[in-house]
Amino acid sequence: MILDPSKIWIFESLHSFGRALSGLDDASGPIAVEQGVRVQRPGEWGNRPPVIAAMPGAIEPSYPKLEGRHRQTLPRVFRANSGTMGQDNNAIHANLHSGNWNIWLVPWRTRADSTMVITVNPGTMLTLNVRDWPQRSTDRGDDRSRILRQAGHFLTLVPGIFATTPSISAAYSRLDRLWETVQDVDPQQDLLKNHANRLQPVLQDLLGHPRVVLRSEHSMQKLQNVRRVDAKSLRWLSAQPGRNTPERAGARQRIMVPKRDITVDTLENRVLRAFAMLTVQESDEWLRKNPRSNDRQLIQAHQSRARRIERALGERRVRVADYPVKPNFPLRFDFRYREIWRAWKELRESSSRLETEWMWQERTLMELLGLRAAMILQKNKGGEILSHAPVLPADSRPEQGRFLKHGGVDFVIATMREDSLKTIPFHSGDRVSSPGAVADVENEAVVWWTPCAGSESRDRENLPGLSCLSWDQGLKEWADSILA
């Protein structure tokens, strides 16, 4: 298929776009977006996000933009997807002679959203029916969230490992050891266990003795019941008509005076209730997914304490804190509330991070695949690393599913070929020159992004990369072919 470079195109997936660039027919053809026209995604397309493709200049800066509560500019990648590992990409290069296509990724649905609206250009809207798209679930048999948490946990540790290890080879050795244990890591479980052990005495103390304050509120009181007046009372009284106090009290003989009252509806207790509610929610999700875990009793006890606190504060009409919150004196300096404030921020960060990782899961898993390719290539005995670019964290983590600056690692590896030293550059992330590739070596040996395969679950087939922890066999064959 020949694409008109003057138009903006919507493709069913990265794979469909790659086939179009390769000149291959695709049953699900692309849709051309006309300026000022509202476009709807065809119902026969699969239950996965499409991609937006255009030549440079066709879409204005800061567009396309996702609308709604997650309003943001869509991430742009300068590559196309054209197949699976080992596919020849000469045909694709032939179709790129007119310039580089820009591709924008569309996120996966979050929560129970049924419609997604994207402003492609000012006045040009794309409406997506996402009702049938897979969404993040808390069911026991659904391990998607766990895999995304593991991927995010692994990628978060990578920059620190490279920064604190004395040599590149030692850094990759640490990454190999971490990779072997990543399937056993559950960041949600670790956080809940940490809170259960650390906050047990704090929660027990706060359950029986929450912080209370004595507040003075002005209200109208009968004159014979007045015991104390202040400056505000005197100013109010002097403004009333009459020659003396009884006349100024009026027919009902009431004046405004201060009334002291003890209340627990303070900012720190609102934060405490918000923390307790979030703890119950996160614990429920974890307990449903892990019915046989050894830590189940510990987390159940922690959840029970949080539920009792939430119920007690609710009975005393303590409101729930709305984020963001500017911490007051008790949240900063009271030991009990300082611990609650810290734990609440950790829970919120964990919950919001998982939602972001779910939205941009393809980008996260593509980054993980490129890093794993680098780990296996350098581990091969046929070559040695000569130089390695710094591995830095993204400016904000995760940045629309990206954890590493430039989206990957780059190095030069040396190997002996025909009694001579041969240098081979490896690239992943933004520096990949092969269109559609996650990683490449000399623009020839390419690692492509492939959807999940071999799963019997229909839902999982719609979720790319869920077999990410079983990539090794294909990557080892790829590395052996390079250094043979």
Contact 206, 309 (CB under 8 A): yes
The rounded distance, in Å, linking the Cα atoms of 405 and 206 is 43
Q: Is the pLDDT assigned to residue 80 strictly greater than 60?
A: no
Mean pLDDT of 318-342: 93
Mean pLDDT of 14-33: 66
361: pLDDT confidence band, cut at 50, 70 and 90? Answer: confident
The rounded distance, in Å, linking the Cα atoms of 233 and 153 is 60
pLDDT at residue 336 in the model: 95
46: pLDDT confidence band, cut at 50, 70 and 90? Answer: low
Question: How big is the CA angle at 477 (ends 473 and 483), to the nearest 5 degrees?
Answer: 140
Burial grade of 464 (CB within 10 A; 0-12, 13-18, 19 or more):
buried
Indicate the range of 138-142, 327-331, 339-343, 367-371 predicted with least confidence.
Answer: 138-142
The Cα diameter of the chain in Å comes to 114
pLDDT at residue 310 in the model: 95
Contact 396, 432 (CB under 8 A): no
Q: Is the pLDDT assigned to residue 417 strictly greater than 70?
A: no
Neighbour tally for 86: CB within 10 Å: 13
Contact 44, 114 (CB under 8 A): no
The rounded distance, in Å, linking the Cα atoms of 273 and 321 is 8
The rounded distance, in Å, linking the Cα atoms of 96 and 343 is 51
Report the share of the chain in percent with pLDDT over 90. 23
pLDDT at residue 194 in the model: 94
* Residue at 349: amino acid letter: E
pLDDT tens digits for range 297-315: 999 999 999 999 999 999 9
Report the share of the chain in percent with pLDDT over 70. 80
Residue that wins the pLDDT comparison between 426 and 87: 426
The rounded distance, in Å, linking the Cα atoms of 22 and 14 is 12
Q: What is the 3-state secondary structure (H, E, C) of the chain?
A: CCCCCCCEEEECCHHHHHHHHCCCCCCCCCEEECCCCCEECCCCCCCCCCEEEECCCCCCCCCCEECCCCCEECCEECCCCCCCCCCCCHHHHHHCCCCCCEEEECCCCCCCCCEEEEEEECCEEEEEECCCCCCCCCCCCCCHHHHHHHHHHHHHHHHHHHHHCCCHHHHHHHHHHHHHHHHHCCHHHHHHHHHHHHHHHHHHHHHHCCCCEEEEEEEEEEHHHCCCCCHHHHHHHHCCCCCCHHHHCCCCCEEEEEEEEEECCCHHHHHHHHHHHHHHHHHHHHHHHCCCCCCHHHHHHHHHHHHHHHHHHHHCCCCCCCCCCCCCHHHHHCHHHHHHHHHHHHHHHHHHHHHHHHHCHHHHHHHHHHHHHHHHHHHCCCCEEEEECCCCECCCCCECCECEHHHCCEEEEEEEECCEEEEEEEEEHHHCCCCCEEEEECCCEEEECCCCCCCCCHHHHCCCCCCHHHCHHHHHHHHHHHHC
Averaged confidence pLDDT in the chain: 80
pLDDT at residue 280 in the model: 95
pLDDT at residue 418 in the model: 65
Contact 339, 377 (CB under 8 A): no
The rounded distance, in Å, linking the Cα atoms of 274 and 269 is 9
Mean pLDDT of 174-202: 90
Give whole-number Cα distances, 32 to 6, 8, 27, 40, 120, in Å.
10, 6, 16, 11, 12
Q: Is the pLDDT assigned to residue 133 strictly greater than 50?
A: yes
Contact 310, 319 (CB under 8 A): no
Query: Rg (Cα) of the chain, in Å, rounded?
Result: 30
pLDDT at residue 454 in the model: 31
- 432 CA to centre of own chain: 24
pLDDT tens digits for range 200-247: 999 999 999 999 988 778 888 888 888 888 898 889 889 999 989 888
Mean pLDDT of 34-50: 70
Contact 93, 63 (CB under 8 A): no
**Sequence spans of domains, the chain:** 8-129, 144-185+360-483, 188-211+267-342, 213-263
Indicate the range of 15-29, 116-130, 202-216, 218-232 predicted with least confidence.
Answer: 15-29
pLDDT at residue 111 in the model: 73
Residue that wins the pLDDT comparison between 12 and 452: 12
pLDDT tens digits for range 366-382: 888 888 888 888 887 66
pLDDT at residue 88 in the model: 39
Mean pLDDT of 85-110: 56
Return phi, psi of residue 345, to 5°.
-65, -40
Question: How big is the CA angle at 20 (ends 359 and 122), to the nearest 5 degrees?
Answer: 55
332: pLDDT confidence band, cut at 50, 70 and 90? Answer: very high
